[in-house]
Amino acid sequence: MQIGNAVINDETDEQGMVDYFGSHAIISDQDVYQIHKYCDFSPNATSQSRECEASYGALEENIIDINVYNIYAPMCFSSDVTTRPKKASILEFDPCSTNYMYVYLNRPDVQEALHANVTKLTHDWELCGDTIQVWRDSPSTIIPLLKEFMSNGIRVWIFR
């Protein structure tokens, strides 16, 4: 089994993201300290302190113009997306590549081939949408599931 760019454990994933941003000077050491001091990362947390929310507000302001999956990559500011992406190249990174996925997955012929959108939803497919505001049945960790897979001889490869 392969899991790429996975959310494995909410508590440690969130802390790791904060530490990553801090270690790469995307957010200040003070913000990292404040977040670790005032934020409750446990899966049982139902609300956060004002100090935590303020620190996360500073974090969000600092990452708004950064691709968090590739902090060194340029951002896409073009609204002119063709139906066919540019040829992939290591030398010429296309910062708009995720836009092509949006266009592709919203094509009626692609949705028909994937047997997707059979109910004719009123909204487009999006990489990260806000259609689902609260996901109540999501586990906070999949570590027990991964342990079960491995104990049954299923090899698991987790990569980013």
* Average pLDDT score over residue span 42-53: 89
Nearest Cα to Cα of residue 125 among 141, 114, 136, 134: 114
| CA dist., res. 18 & res. 31, Å (int) | 9
CA 54 vs. chain centroid, Å, equals 21
Tell me the per-residue pLDDT of 79-120, one tens digit each, with 9 for 90 and over. 766 666 667 777 777 788 778 888 888 888 988 898 888 878
Average pLDDT score, the chain: 84
Residue 105 token pair = 């997955």
